[in-house]
């Protein structure tokens, strides 16, 4: 085979030489200096064979010869390059991590909003003209502090009238008492009839009732007079005033004069789906999770900008009714708010501690894929250093890892790097993930 190839190469070189000579001769003929006849060319190029030489035919022959020579040169170069290929390398390296059970505190992140501990709307209990507003908007007020003053003139007059009516009732009561006492003595000696005594006694009782009635009227008038000073019902921070001085207000009006909110401590209401709640209770009952040491669950808070609230809170209670529209329950946590940085209505995220898993198996998310059925799976290095697919059951994410409940055990080697080279059943060389791969000896020799 080698002898035939060498002969073919020699023939190709000979024909190329003839092509070069023919091109040079044609150039000379055009200039009138041709030194060789057509018969000579036949003898040189074709060894005396018959050649019907025309310009077009000559060019076609030349083109065919060039193509044949190029193909032969490419074949020779390819065979030469193929002879210098390096030998096959060994088993591919893959980066693996070894499964080790560990203690993990699990938590749940729920979104919600801040709610003031107490909220009260300030409304007038008597009608009149506001004479003065005696508080500063946006400041803290104490319970019982006067906020507005309503014109008290009418209520003062009503109070004085009620007191006068009470004095008159008391005078009538005293006169009726004396009359009843005299007739009580006379009835003993039959100086007056029994009927006259009964009438006097009834008049005394009626006078005493009038005194009580007028006394109640006096108290009502006094209360209405006191209501002209609109006071804060609770302690807290008061918002803007909805009414200004000179405005007319009425008792029990729908519009509040101002709103007071108690924001230290602050409530945080979050929602959790009933499915997650039932799963958490089942894990606690099965022993998968264990309660923390504290009696009340600790809660951490993330603000709208992603920063962490410095003070921890506690879970106060969970709602006993499920929302039929959302299928969730409301959880309420309480947080101290001494610097008033938490404001009502803020969107926050609460991190609740679910429990502790003493033998948790965590797998990096980059090593978990899905099979055509949608099941989670990983590639592991088996006992014979061969790749094995393993279907696993994942519960939830913990940071950048999956929490695995089934399918893996301590000591399993999971492939994280070089998965594209890890075909099931193929032998591989396992190295620690993140380590520097070794250089193949054959590759190093070829450089």
Write the CB contacts of 243 (distance below 8 Å, at least 6 apart in sequence).
130, 133, 148, 249, 255, 257
- Residue 271's nearest CA partner among 326, 315, 353, 328 is 328
Domains of the chain in sequence order: 2-83 (no CATH), 106-115+259-359 (2.40.30.170), 124-258 (2.40.50.100), 368-446 (2.40.420.20)
Each of the 447 residues of the chain gets a pLDDT tens digit; together they read 444 445 544 555 555 555 555 455 545 444 444 444 444 444 444 444 444 444 444 554 455 555 455 544 544 444 444 444 444 456 888 889 999 999 888 888 889 999 999 999 999 999 999 999 999 999 999 999 999 999 999 999 999 999 999 999 999 999 999 999 988 888 888 888 889 889 899 999 999 999 999 999 999 999 999 999 999 999 999 999 999 999 999 998 999 999 999 998 999 999 888 888 887 777 767 665 666 555 567 789 999 998 999 999 988 877 778 888 888 888 889 999 999 899 999 999 999 887 788 888 999 998 899 999 999 999 999 888 889 999 999 888 888 899 898 889 888 999 998 888 778 888 888 889 875 444 333 333 333
Q: What is this structure's pTM?
A: 0.59
The angle at the Cα of 79, spanning 75 to 80, to the nearest 5 degrees, equals: 120
Burial of 31 (0-12, 13-18, 19+ CB in 10 A): exposed
DSSP class of residue 73? H
If you ran DSSP here, which 8-state letter would residue 27 be given? H
Q: HSE, CB side, 13 Å, CA atoms: give it for residue 126.
A: 24
CB 352 within 8 A of CB 301: no
Q: Contact, 333 vs 314, CB < 8 A? A: yes
Count of CB atoms within 10 A of residue 26's CB? 15
Phi-psi category of residue 434: left, alpha or beta, with phi > 0 → left and psi -120 to 50 → alpha:
left
Q: What share of the chain is helix, strand, coil (3-state, %, to 5)?
A: 35, 30, 35
Q: Which of 339, 341, 382, 376 is nearest to 361 (CA)?
A: 376
The count of other CB atoms within 10 Å of the CB of residue 268 is 26
| Spatial CA neighbour of 391 closest among 374, 378, 409 | 378
């Amino acid at each position: 085979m080698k002898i035939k190839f060498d002969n073919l190469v020699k023939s190709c070189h000979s024909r190329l030489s003839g092509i070069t000579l023919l091109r040079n001769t044609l150039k000379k003929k055009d200039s009138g200096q041709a030194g060789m006849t057509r018969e000579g060319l036949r003898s040189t190029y074709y060894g005396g064979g018959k050649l019907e030489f025309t310009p077009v035919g000559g060019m076609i022959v030349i083109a065919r010869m060039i193509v044949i020579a190029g193909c032969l040169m490419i074949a020779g170069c390819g065979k030469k390059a193929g002879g210098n290929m390096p030998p096959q390398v060994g088993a591919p390296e893959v980066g693996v991590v070894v499964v080790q059970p560990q203690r993990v505190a699990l938590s749940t992140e729920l979104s919600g909003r801040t709610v003031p501990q107490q909220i009260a709307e300030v409304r007038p209990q008597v009608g009149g003209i506001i004479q003065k507003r005696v508080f500063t908007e946006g400041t803290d007020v104490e319970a019982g502090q006067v906020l507005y003053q309503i014109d008290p003139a009418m209520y003062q007059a009503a109070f004085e009238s009620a007191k006068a009516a009470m004095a008159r009732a008391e005078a009538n009561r005293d006169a009726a008492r004396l009359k009843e006492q005299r007739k009580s003595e006379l009835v003993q000696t039959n100086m007056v009839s029994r009927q006259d005594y009964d009438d006097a006694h009834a008049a005394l009782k009626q006078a005493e009732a009038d005194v009580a009635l007028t006394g109640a009227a006096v108290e009502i008038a006094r209360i209405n007079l006191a209501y002209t000073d609109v006071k804060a019902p609770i302690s807290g921070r008061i918002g803007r005033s909805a009414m200004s001085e000179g405005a007319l207000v009425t008792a029990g009006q729908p519009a509040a004069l101002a709103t007071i909110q108690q924001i230290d401590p602050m409530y945080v209401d979050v929602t959790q789906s009933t499915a997650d709640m039932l799963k958490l209770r089942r894990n606690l009952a099965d022993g998968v999770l264990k309660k923390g040491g504290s009696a009340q669950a600790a809660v951490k808070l993330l603000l709208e900008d992603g920063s962490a609230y410095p003070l921890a809170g506690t879970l106060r209670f969970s709602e006993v009714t499920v929302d039929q529209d959302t299928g969730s329950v409301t959880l309420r946590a309480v947080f101290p708010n001494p610097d008033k940085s938490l404001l009502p209505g803020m969107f926050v995220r609460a991190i609740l501690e679910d429990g502790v898993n003493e033998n948790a198996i965590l797998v990096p998310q980059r090593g978990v894929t899905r099979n055509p059925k949608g099941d989670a799976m990983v590639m592991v290095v088996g006992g014979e250093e061969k790749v094995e697919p393993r279907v696993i059951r994942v519960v939830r994410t913990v940071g950048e890892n999956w929490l695995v409940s089934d399918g893996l055990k301590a000591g399993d080697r999971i492939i994280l790097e070089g998965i594209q080279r890890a075909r099931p059943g193929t032998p591989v060389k396992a190295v620690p993930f993140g380590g520097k791969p070794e250089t193949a000896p054959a590759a190093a020799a070829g450089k």
